Amino acid sequence: MSTQGYEAELMSEREYVAGLYARLDAERARVKAAYRDALRGTGGTPMERDFEVRALGKEARRLDVADNGLCFGRLDAESGERSGERSGERSGARSYIGRIGLFDEGDEYEPVLLDWRAPAARPFYTATGAHPEGMRRRRQFHTRGRQVLDFSDEVFGRPDQGDRGDAALLAAVNAPRGEGMRDIVATIQAEQDEIIRLEHPGVVVIEGGPGTGKTVVALHRVAYLLYTQRERMERHGVLVVGPNPAFLNHISRVLPSLGESDVVFMTPGSLVPGLRVTAEDGPDAARLKGSLKILDVLKAAVADRQRLPEEPIPINLADVTVRIDAETAEWARDEARQSGLPHNDARAKFTEIVTYVLTERAISRIGRGWLTRDDREGWERLRKDLLKELAEDERFTAALDELWPVLTPESLLSSLYESPERLRAAGADPVLHRADGSAWTVSDVPLLDELVDLLGRDTSAEEAAAERERKKQAEFAAGVLDSLVGRQDSMDDEDHLFATDLLYAEDLAERFVEQDTRELVERAAADRDWTYRHVVVDEAQELSEMDWRVLMRRCPGRSFTVVGDLAQRRSPAGARSWDAMLQPYVPGRWVYRSLTVNYRTPAEIMAVAAGVLAEFAPDVQAPESVRACGVRPWARQVSDDDVKAAVEEFVREEAGREGTSVVIGPPDVPGAVPASETKGLEFDSVLVVDPDRILADGPRGAAELYVALTRATQRLGVLHRNPLPASLSGLR
């Protein structure tokens, strides 16, 4: 294309994209006006009005995310313009691809912008010169805000045309990193697109080395599933599980940027409502707690609290003293256990048997000489009086609490950890003993979740929390009503407030009291029994067998996207093979896909990391970097006294550059974070301090160092006090 032709075409594309933004603005205004009208509406039931308000609010949020990069490309089919046509002419065979879909206002309701997830948009990501998929040209826009800066074309079918050009991709991967992960909607590659659109109803495992984009592919897969299966999925939402809060914060913008908000983000330490646990156990304790063998310990610990009295327990009633002996308690215990109910629910059966025995014995003594079993009326009248007396007797209640106490997961597990005797009784390893039983670790969370099912619910705390929420919402609604009344009083007659506003406020107050008005994400995060339609698990190689039990409870339909890299596993209880971890739950319902291209780590840095990988995982092939950055990684030996100054020098230099940076090292290095806290994150520049100490930190130290080295997208430096490990000897 000539320079003059290019400029004319660029002007034409700018006009078209400006028209798309005008249509977006008009649609926003329409939806927001409808939203305001719905808030004031009085027609239909409260539930119908709530549904309309929520739907319009969600649509408004979807439209609000589309400002940046609304349209990022164009596809021309083979039936489009030919070489003899003028470059500025439009053709019906052209499709513009964007972040969301937009339609014209005519009777045909034709798309003027295709949603990137639509089937017709797929060739934008998959067409190549060898396989053009009916396409003649792919055009990619370079935009800033609402402005099209320039574009690049790939014309398929030419003799020298190879695979997809890398201009847009390289521009994206070379760009400085910001505060969080960016979506890749404009630069999805063919191998990524295949996984994103994979129609598999079970578990999809995506494995790839550092920088292969497995996390962002999984998130775009969620956006695709929500687009294609919205009715099935949006009422229950999607759960995304990541290794730590920093990682979740890093990825949290991706799905909202794609218009999806019904997503709950959690770490393994927050899967039980009310807990936000980050502390970790030592390797031995973590391994024990992560194994399914711990289930026998938990069951034994519950059974250990179902006690028999060492001596008969006397219960002094008004006319007689009765005793709970071991024989009575054993009968009651056997009946309660055979009921199959959770521990707290089975207490009713235990109490029923004990009460029956005590009342029978009491009646026999009290009625000796004058009451026979033939006098059923007298017998039952006396039993009724005794039942009331037992219910009010503190000693009887205390005896029940001693023999069959009401337990919470927290009280049972903390008392188990604190008592060597109880650990022995439950057949547990002494390594689980600790002085503060309630100093929870991440490995405790699946055990607490398991105990919810073993013990049954104590709903008093939940009911109290629900009552507090109802009062809070009612107070808010009352405040809305008061403010509207105040506005009514202060307005002139000619600027009056419609009566429907007051009616709505009164209706609002009533609805807040009667209904749960929280958004799906808030309701799901607070409900341990909430079930999701789909679950994404990132850094899945770190999850234990017990972690997987929790997640399978959360998703009965077994629809998962599992992301990980077995070579990066650091947890002693983590996965050593996907088959061993998943087959017990989804036999024959999981598929494996791998990503082999490294889009993040430049070749110069990956060559260094590959040396570490070869030592601890010689059978694993390092991912191939898609680019080089032209900057060689460096190493520098310093003395103990110089470490702090060297780190400060790095920080100062990076502060003057665009992008992000991080210092990774042992805890005593000033300003450093451990490698485990950087998993899944990326930075323009990385300084690794004392790699030999990272290697020496437990059996998975090599994996930790591998993670540290592969966080950088541009620059990598290494400070070392001791000689460099052999695997890093190639560094200069």
Any known ligand binding at 44? no
Which tokens go with 411? 């009280």
CA distance 254 to 267: 17
Which tokens go with 593? 């896909």
Q: Which residues contact 433 (CB under 8 A, 6 or more apart)?
A: 417, 418, 420, 423
Q: Which of 139, 268, 246, 49 has the alpha carbon at shortest distance from 678?
A: 246
Any known ligand binding at 211? yes
Residue 415, CA atoms < 13 Å, CB-side half-sphere = 12
Cross-sheet strand order for the sheet of 111-115:
102-103, 111-115, 94-98, 71-77, 135-144, 147-155
CA distance 706 to 570: 11
Any known ligand binding at 671? no
Any known ligand binding at 159? no
Say if CB 248 and CB 265 are below 8 A apart.
Answer: yes
Q: Which residues contact 97 (CB under 8 A, 6 or more apart)?
A: 71, 72, 73, 74, 75, 113, 114, 116, 121, 124
Sign of CA dihedral 311, 316, 320, 324: negative
CA distance 725 to 708: 15
Any known ligand binding at 561? no
Q: Is 569 exposed, middle or buried (0-12, 13-18, 19+ CB in 10 A)?
A: buried
**DSSP assigned state of 673:** B
Any known ligand binding at 209? yes
Any known ligand binding at 210? yes
Query: Strand 135-144 and strand 590-595: pairing?
Result: unpaired
Q: Which of 325, 336, 326, 327 has the alpha carbon at shortest distance from 303?
A: 336
Length of the chain: 732
- Beta partners for 147? 144
Q: Is 598 exposed, middle or buried (0-12, 13-18, 19+ CB in 10 A)?
A: buried
Binding residues: 208-215
Residues at the binding site for ATP are 208-215
